[in-house]
Amino acid sequence: MGSKEMPRRTRTILCFLLLFCVSCKCLASEFEITQVASLGVDSSPHLARKIPDTLFGIFFEEINHAGAGGIWAELVSNRGFEAGGPHTPSNINPWSIIGDDSSIFVGTDRTSCFSRNKVALRMEVLCDNCPVGGVGIYNPGFWGMNIEDGKTYNLVMHVKSPETIEMTVSLTSSDGLQVLASAAIRVPGGSNWIKLDQKLVAKGTDRTSRLQITARTKGVVWLDQVSLMPSDTYKGHGFRTELISMLLDLKPRFLRFPGGCFVEGSWLRNAFRWRDSIGPWEERPGHYGDVWNYWTDDGLGYYEFLQLAEDLGAAPVWVFNNGISHHDEVDTTAIAPFVKDILDSLEFARGSAESTWGSVRAAMGHPEPFPVKYVAIGNEDCGKENYRGNYLKFYNAIREAYPDIQMISNCDGSSTPLDHPADLYDFHVYTGSSALFSMKNTFDNTSRSGPKAFVSEYAVTGNDAGRGSLLASLAEAAFLTGLEKNSDVVQMASYAPLFINDNDRTWNPDAIVFNSWQQYGTPSYWMQTLFRESSGATVHPISLSSSCSGLLAASAITWHDDENSFLRVKIVNFGPDAVGLTISATGLQGSINALGSTATVLTSGGVMDENSFANPNKVVPVTVELRDAAEEMQVTLPPHSLTAFDLALAQSRLVADV
């Protein structure tokens, strides 16, 4: 560094960087400082501004099998045999037959006892002396069922047989040769459908298992609504625990759902219909999502999304269809039934347990209302012919019935005023890393009056995003520092998409990648963990000066945990050179306490580095203590990095804040 006597503060930070280098197997020479900069933070109370409590949340869309085969823990794919359409005979995919033409005949008909999904499977066993393992059908789930040793799985199925028949239900390996769990079931003869429940306890682990339903004697049996759920779902609410845990770690303040384009549909006939997704799961018809091209049984429905928001401690943001899809629209003169439908959805969520739709919610197990206070009228529909006319019909009806609900327009009001009333407006951005980095000042010149911005979808896409690169996460972090600084006009923001099943990579990149039994966060996920304390925090003005300031982005906030208060300074170094940075904080009511102060850095040896199942922690934040933290300190920012300095504030500051 050109000096024999290095200040202790600088030595501390450089030791931190050396520690990080060891973990990443990089060379100390890579941190030779070629650029210098200074960052001033003015923490004076009269210049501080509270960030909205809702600033950072999450957006869930049924895309990439995020729900079906994802956070919704149902293991059976096409459990009601409806995916092949309402006409029979129909395709039963992914169900397959065990046996040949001489031993079994399998088809579909419309004899189900469920009025909203009439298709049932008819299985006729033709053999008197069937093979040892029997003949029947099997379901591989969503690219294989994850069955784990010692765990219990709850099987439910509806059956009917004119004569008593003995059957076997089994969890087996993908080839059927290894049996992990098995139970004999007697189906009594009769003309009525019956519901059978069976617990299966696994004696072995297989990540690509299947469910088998077999028989060994001649007979006919009908089956419908076959479900297999693990017994250890999150709070017993049907969600995959390990994926929900990753969401909880983000501390989301809101949950936007269920889309996205999933809400619109390529055609209205395939749009998400909330009332078809509530009530007993057996009675839900399911639907084909024709934008992302797969069937969903809608076990993860409107009620479950509201329950998920509650479980996460997040405010629900209900995005509903406003009579517009990608290819067809309802004229404003005929939109009244759609408006009534959405008013009913709000009564379902918010109405008393004695109201028409609130009683349906109560019957599902939630007598207390869900606090829906945000609705988005459509998704990316601003330029459509009937959007403004339809929007006003919904807006006026909801405002009259629920005056406290905040309504979100699809039209961007960041640069020009909206021509219609709204509480918030949607802002979506998908672009390259350099472009998004340059957008960190997007809202600097936005009008400070009028509706607030909801940046409900943002992400780096394209070649420099890969499947979730460090470079992408750094550009996104820079963009978020701009949202923090402009949080007087930006009220909410969420990354998109949230989830991707590794077997259905329709949209890359995403925040969380999973398969039947593994999961990891991309760098964009880990980047968001460094912003999870921002909602409800206090933002401070900063001054940044450097010859390379065009490649730096920064913000400063004060946040509190249960016991302490911290000044968090976040700096993105988007450039290829290490930067020597002097940080100075003024206006503090007390002093910085080295005890409890930390530095966290997100970087890697290569700017296009990604995480994977083989190396899920290749690009993750590394945190160390800052034992010599002070009001002024000299630090080194690694090339292509996001660094967060959490400087613990002394007790005197806490008293002053109170």
Q: What single-letter amino acid sits at 76?
A: V
* Whether 380 is catalytic: yes
**Cα dist. 360→284, 299, 310, 369, 488 in Å?**
14, 16, 18, 11, 39
Measured CA to CA, the distance from residue 633 to residue 621 in angstroms comes to 21
Evaluate whether 214 touches 223 at the Cβ level (below 8 Å). no
DSSP code at position 440: G
Measured CA to CA, the distance from residue 486 to residue 493 in angstroms comes to 12
Single out the catalytic residue among 264, 310, 380, 610.
380
Residues sharing a CB contact under 8 Å with residue 57, sequence separation 6 or more, in sequence order:
252, 253, 254, 255, 256, 314, 315, 317, 492, 493, 494, 535
Say which residue the tokens 């469920």 belong to.
Answer: 114
Measured CA to CA, the distance from residue 111 to residue 108 in angstroms comes to 9
Q: Which two tokens stand for residue 273?
A: 């219909």
Measured CA to CA, the distance from residue 13 to residue 10 in angstroms comes to 5
Give the side-chain half-sphere CA count within 13 A for 504.
19
Evaluate whether 264 touches 291 at the Cβ level (below 8 Å). yes
Q: What single-letter amino acid sits at 643?
A: T
Q: Which two tokens stand for residue 448?
A: 């400070």
Say which residue the tokens 């980047």 belong to.
Answer: 527
Q: What single-letter amino acid sits at 50?
A: K
Measured CA to CA, the distance from residue 396 to residue 210 in angstroms comes to 51
Report helix, strand or coil for 582.
strand
Q: Tally the residues of the chain.
A: 658
Measured CA to CA, the distance from residue 510 to residue 524 in angstroms comes to 8
Measured CA to CA, the distance from residue 473 to residue 454 in angstroms comes to 20
Nearest to 584 by CA among 556, 561, 607: 556
Tell me which residues are annotated as active site.
Answer: 380
